[in-house]
Structure 1
Amino acid sequence: MITDLELGEEWKTEALEPAGPARATGGPGPRSWLWALAGVVATSAVWGGGLYTFGDRAAEPEISFRASKNLCQDFRAGALSGITGDMHAKKPVNLESDHRAVYAARCALANAGKDGVAPDFDVVAQVVLHKKTDPSVEFDAPDLRPMAYAGGVRTAAVPDLGERAVMNVMSGDTWLILKVLDGGAVFTLEAGANTFAETNGRPATDVDAVQAAMIEDMRELLSALKK
């Protein structure tokens, strides 16, 4: 269970108006909502790159993390696999983009499901290294595109994880986003399923257990990419 030490603020709910459908990026399984969100950070990074051409902004940050050439090798998802079954059972999807302003890498994973074919749990990890400006300026800005899929969201700060970290639990409690700012980089970890109840041979779990596993796996990823 997540303790008060792990999530240091009370949940707060914001009802946001849908901002229009996000563009799906594809991926295993029929649930396009999670895979659509997988492209949000990459899209935001490219959009943010365009801002660098306008005026003199903050000095280039000192980046404390290396660029990952294969994020699915660096991101093992061990804690989440203990809940969902091996998240590397299906072929992972790796993407990377190197821009003069940002470097982004993404890993999309899915478990095998009871029949070994149809996954019932998806995880997307992404890291964006900001080469030109300090990402802390924009870290707390809300992104309305995920809300178009989920409606309300419960948000809590996660202490002792990077410089700043926040956990978002979308309406329905089966879609979670952990976002971390640290050392000139923004890390994002998303986890989602149709249900956290027992299904396809996967034992039932709860949202607190999933959050705890996400935090543990994020700590390991930060350590794996630290210069």
Structure 2
Amino acid sequence: MSIPGETPNPYGQPQPHQPPQPPQQSPPQSPYGQPQPHQAQPLQHNPYAQPTMPSVPLGGYGPMGTPPGAPPTGSGGGRKGWPWALGGAVVASAVWAGVLFATGGFDGEAKADLAGYRYTNNLCTATDAQTIEDAGYQQEDGSANPQHSSSEDPALDSMTCNIDFEPNDADSDDYSSVWLYTTASLHKKTDPAPEFEAQYRAYEEQKTSSYSYKVSPVNGLGAEAYVVTQVSKSGSDTGAYVILGVRDGWMTYQSTWSEYLSSSSSATAKTPEEATAMLKKSARATLEKMKE
């Protein structure tokens, strides 16, 4: 029985042992009304439903397939279960909002993980050349050595450095071509991880009549790293060509060692293994400087 003037309870449930009454033509059926036994009823839109995390029902599914958030059935009826359901919705919504803020999901983009690396307009100042010099080389004299370039962009920061070297024990009339080329990129919009390994594995398919490439993973550098070694089919030991690629978060780094000495040179070229060890040591020092 209701008190005159009291607003009808929209969540009222049928009394125990009494079958639910079919909805009247007027007023319209409550959006929380239960379907009749043995009758398939379309699920009504719940205007009070709170957004939840994907695939996580609001408060779970109740008896007889009631939709998430609907008041519980039984003699308790009324508004007994609604505050709990509403509280669960608020908590779930807050958690989901926190996830979106943390990942940048509100604007449809993940937040770039630059792992502490910073843009510099002169990568040569961060590139570790001391490791190369300690291995028996000196930088060639000239106003154009070293050379650097850089580009800062909202989507991608790019930096390069090229340094020409010559062996310390080379004669003045020896021909040599020795250089270290370093690049670094800060990816601000796209995670480079899914494609990083594939970029270096692609070298394995590049073969000529003179050489091929060998690709190997490297441990202890960034999140992942690979070394690409050019293998001469003639067995020549007059030089080495080695590429080292490193990814740390959304930062990618690559250093390339290229050395060629004439067969008559008095100097001795580095083996691919020696060049690889040299690049690893130089990369560690360079990456540390890029965080300063």
Give structure 2 stretches of 5+ with no counterpart. 1-106, 233-238
Any conservation in 2 of the 1:165–1:178 contact (CA below 8 Å)?
yes
The structure 2 residue matched to 1:169, chosen from 217, 229, 235, is 229
* Structure 1 counterpart of 2:110: 59
CA contact (8 A) 2:240 2:270 kept: no
Q: Is the 8 A contact 1:65 1:183 kept in 2?
A: no
Structure 1: tracts of 5 or more residues without a match: 1-55
Confirm or deny: 8 A CA contact 1:97 1:105 kept in the other structure. Answer: yes
1:130 aligns with 2:187: yes
Following TM superposition, by how much is the alpha carbon of 1:107 offset from its aligned partner in structure 2, in angstroms?
0.2
Instruction: Select the residue among 251, 264, 282 that pairs with 1:217.
Output: 282
How far did residue 145 of structure 1 move?
8.1
Q: How does 1:91-110 map to 2 (within 5 A)?
A: 91-110=145-164
Task: Tell me if structure 1 keeps the 8 A contact 2:146–2:163.
Answer: yes
1:62-211, aligned counterparts within 5 Å? 62-63=113-114, 64-87=116-139, 89-90=141-142, 91-112=145-166, 114=170, 115=172, 119-142=176-199, 147=206, 152-172=212-232, 174-195=240-261, 200-211=265-276
Which residue identity is paired with 2:197? Answer: D
Contact between 2:244 and 2:254, CA under 8 Å: does it hold in 1? yes
**Structure 1 contact 67–129 (Cα < 8 Å) conserved:** yes
2:160 touches 2:182 (CA, 8 Å); kept in 1?
yes
Query: How far apart, CA to CA, are the structure 1 residues paired with 2:174 and 2:124?
Result: 20
Q: Deviations over 1:167-205 (max 9, x none)?
A: 00023272110000003100000001124x886443343
Q: 3-state DSSP class of the match of 1:175?
A: strand
TM-score by length of structure 2 reads 0.51
Indicate conservation of the 8 Å contact 2:193/2:247, yes or no.
yes
* CA deviation map 1:24-78 (0-9, x unaligned): xxxxxxxxxxxxxxxxxxxxxxxxxxxxxxxx97613221201122111111322
Shift of residue 217 of structure 1?
Answer: 0.1
How big is the alpha-carbon RMSD for the aligned residues of Structure 1 and Structure 2? 3.0
Query: TM-score, structure 1 length as denominator?
Result: 0.65
Using the TM superposition, give the Cα deviation of residue 130 of structure 1 relative to its aligned residue in structure 2, in angstroms: 0.4
Between the two proteins, the alignment pairs up a number of residues equal to 171
Alignment check: 8 A CA contact 1:84 1:111 kept: no
